Amino acid sequence: MIRTRGLAYAHAGRSVPLRFPDVDLSMGQTLLLRGPSGSGKSTWLALVAGLRTPQAGQITVAGQDLAALRGAALDRWRAATVGIVPQRLHLSAALTVADNLALAYLAAGRPRDNAAIHRTLDALGVAALGTRLPHQLSGGQAQRVAVARAVLLGPSLLVADEPTASLDDAAAQDTLALLERSASLAGASLVIATHDTRVATALPSAATLVLPTVQGAAV
């Protein structure tokens, strides 16, 4: 599912590159990417999702060598293959919940499927929210909508960046259960980047990759 070799990335203006351990993640497996702020967790997620290009190394996701993709082809691959739940949910304020999900079809170059949008919202317990705008949602509802958008096209890989940040214990547990269930429904591998020690406790069967702090490196 994910295979990386010799992966390195240098942020602009930083003299110390980030160098990442090699990873082999099987289909359906869960990986916790752990480490303090500055260790490169968000950067690693961006590299694997094809949002950034490494200075060195190889990345293969779901059988696709990312170095072979460029521009629109890379964007279509990402939209169809990787579901991303960012730390900031980035729902478009001017669009309804259903229309926010429909953006996934636009990115993948596919026709909109309203029935699939409804099924996905229903599976996550928010089917009644399809006509609402993001400002009409609670924080928990917005997070479920963001997860629904990430899994709508049946991705092979679901990634979440610090999904339990600023959440109390009960909300964190609910969020992790939601991500696990959503990945299972999509048949996807799950990668969670976190510095929250509660995540490892909640997901004891997950593999863990711990990134060390790099002096002067950005995240």
Split at pLDDT 50, 70, 90, the class of 167 is confident
Which residue from 140, 129, 135 is spatially nearest to 170, judged by alpha carbons? 140
- Lowest-confidence pick of 146-155, 160-169, 209-218: 209-218
Q: How far apart are CA 155 and CA 128, in angstroms?
A: 24
Q: Using a pLDDT cut of 90, give the percent of the chain over it.
A: 82
Tell me: the pLDDT tens digits for 84-107?
A: 999 888 899 999 999 999 999 999
Q: How far apart are CA 130 and CA 216, in angstroms?
A: 44
Mean pLDDT, to the nearest integer, of 17-29? Answer: 94
Residue 214's pLDDT is what? 61
Residue 191's pLDDT is what? 98
Split at pLDDT 50, 70, 90, the class of 212 is confident
Domains in the chain (CATH in brackets) are: 2-210 (3.40.50.300)
Are the CB atoms for 164 and 196 separated by under 8 Å?
yes
Host H or E run for residue 200: helix 197-202
Residue 13 has pLDDT above 90, yes or no: no
Mean pLDDT, to the nearest integer, of 32-54? Answer: 94
Distances (CA, A) of 109 to 6, 70, 86: 32, 16, 22
CA 99 to chain centre: 20
Mean pLDDT, to the nearest integer, of 24-45? Answer: 93
Residue 189's pLDDT is what? 97
What is the DSSP secondary-structure string of 49-83?
TTSS--SEEEEEETTEEGGG--HHHHHHHHHHHEE
Mean pLDDT, to the nearest integer, of 115-133? Answer: 95
- Based on the number of CB atoms within 10 Å of its own CB, is 218 exposed (0-12), middle (13-18) or buried (19 or more)? middle
Q: What is the 3-state secondary structure (H, E, C) of 29-51?
A: CEEEEECCCCCCHHHHHHHHCCC
Angle at 34 between CA 28 and CA 35, to 5 degrees: 165
Are the CB atoms for 6 and 57 separated by under 8 Å?
yes
Residue 165's pLDDT is what? 85
Q: CB neighbours of 134 closer than 8 A, spacing ≥ 6?
A: 91, 92, 93, 95, 97, 100, 142, 145
Residue 219 has pLDDT above 70, yes or no: no
Residue 217 has pLDDT above 50, yes or no: no
pTM attached to this predicted model: 0.91
Residue 215 has pLDDT above 80, yes or no: no
Q: Using a pLDDT cut of 70, give the percent of the chain over it.
A: 97
- Based on the number of CB atoms within 10 Å of its own CB, is 63 exposed (0-12), middle (13-18) or buried (19 or more)? exposed
Q: Which amino acid is residue 11, in one-letter code?
A: H
Are the CB atoms for 48 and 59 separated by under 8 Å?
yes
